[in-house]
Amino acid sequence: MEKEIQNRIIKAVNEHKEELLLILEELVSFPTVSPPARNTGEIQNYIANFLEAHQFETDSWDVFPNDPNVVGIKRGSEGLHYHSLIINGHIDVAEVGDESAWTVPAFKLTNKDGYVFGRGTSDMKGAIAATLLAVKLLKELNIEIKGDLQIQSVIGEEAGEAGTLSCIERGYTADFALVVDGSDRQIHGQGGVITGWITIKSKEVFHDAMRMKMLHAGGLIKGASAIEKMMKIIEGLQELERHWAVTKQYPGFAPGTTTINPAVIEGGRHAAFVADECRLWITVHFYPNETYESVTTEIENHLNQVAMADPWLRENPLQYRWGGKSMIEERGEVFPALKMDAEHPAGLLLAACHEQIEKNPVQIGMSKSVTDAGWLGQAGIPTVIYGPGKLEEAHSVDEKLNIEELLLFTQTLLLFICQWCNTKK
């Protein structure tokens, strides 16, 4: 029986290849670039209508104005007794950059040489299109599912805007979650990322003419440049980063993956004043066995010790602001790490489905990037990343996706839905 369903799925997906590409063409035509964002209302309405046409109940709400999430649920016939599944993907895409560098239109799907080109094909509208076709084929093939199937089309991933977190806060959950972001059809967990602002602010403001009195012990003024003091803080961060490189490790990551990047520095008010404030924006990468709370605590403890060794910083303490729900609105973001359980029954089943379709064992590892998967894992939902598309294609000029890869992913996805949502609890 299982072999028969598998063969029907493979045949149906192959026969619907052109329809799959038409759905993807429609999705790519919506220029949902983030930033600037606030532009996903139309595409999310398209997705909601598609889901409703295939017997899904839908819910939509604005995370930001004209940036709504859409969640569709197809109720299983015996939902209380069979496993439920979330399929999660983001509908926003990266900036295009200089369009003159592209050899194909960014928002018109181009099919050539076995690939489809266009912004978002790999990251990650190809996976969304595959999900929508899988939904349609469930109905056309008269495949009953006994557990609930939930589709989450979320906003904001490209700009650190927590559309997936908003789904969790709204109460959406399941027995397992599949984030279909690009992983080259490998099963991935991920490390985490958090950004933060470190601020040095003087209690007093001095005219530039007072600088000569601050440079030596007999100057009689206890002042300092916040910009110059920030140099000590940057040195302290470099020391901590080197310490992490030799003391921290995690399977699937190269040594030294835990980095602290001083990305942006701002400070001073005018050339006629000694800089009384300086702000440093940092990006921190951490391992799946860490949390962003534990990592930021480590950084603060280390830098506070650095500051305690400086008489002026002792009296003008460092200020910290970590994370945020939007790089656009708050200039801050966080992506929790995902500590993947490769032995979870759903993960094992996904691996088996991949092997049945592709005739090769799936590769299991750690993503070199970050996705929304960490939010689902943090909420206690067993989660993995598995999707079509190579990382190097994301955000690239002439972004493309292999058509055969997209078909194989669609077949595996549909087979997994049929088997997991028909597995008794």
CA pair distance 419, 297, nearest whole angstrom = 43
Q: For residue 161, what are its two tokens? A: 């805007």
Catalytic residue among 67, 92, 181, 393: 92
Check 25, 123, 148, 157 and give the catalytic one. 157
| CA-based R_g, the chain, Å | 25
Is 327 within 8 Å of 333 (Cβ atoms)?
Answer: yes
52 is catalytic: no
Q: How far is CA 172 from CA 61, 88, 168, 376, 380, in A?
A: 13, 11, 5, 10, 12
Whether 185 contacts 109, CB under 8 Å: no
Task: Please state, in angstroms and rounded to a whole number, the distance separating the CA atoms of residues 389 and 409.
Answer: 10
184 tagged catalytic: no
Collapsed DSSP state (helix, strand, coil) of residue 30: coil
How many CB atoms are closer than 10 A to CB 334? 23
CA-based nearest residue to 387, from 186, 119, 158, 139 = 186
> Tokens 């995902």 appear where?
338
Residues designated catalytic: 92, 157
